[in-house]
Chains A and B, each alone.
Chain A
């Protein structure tokens, strides 16, 4: 456990509704990431953050937005959920806290959120 908490762990929602997933870390890592995992695709990067209020798009960012107002929290929002966004979502952190350089390039993952859009 690398001090990463994702909430909720499971969610079922209806098409067209907004959904926000939360990632909270206690490790003071600089970089945070949101991935989605789908069969046959592995993990695909949605958005990432390289500091407070510093975010950028990944390879599958359409339909998603993110925000990072504090070092420890990274939110993923689906403004209007669609069935194609049914997936397992993982938050990850890397960069390491200050003083532990060897761990910096390792990416640590949360437990995942299973989202079903009906």
Chain B
């Protein structure tokens, strides 16, 4: 069964550094999402992406964040200048046409900002 994959599984970075989190959605899916979960807190929506553009973004997704689909398979989340409070688990998800809310999640990337 196809799965969403994410790399790396754990990323440690220093405050102020740029970080890129990578995701490979399920191949026939058209909607892509990033969520994050700070330790002990709720899963929070960051952004959704469809047809090569951002469909929706939350207040968390400020100018420090960007997403890109650089080729036909990868979907990336970039944080330009990381802050301590960006430390969290970042989940990528994808869904197919006609079933936007049946979102398939990747295993997550744990980002630690020191």
Is A bound to B? no
Residues of chain B having any CB pair with chain A under 8 Å: none
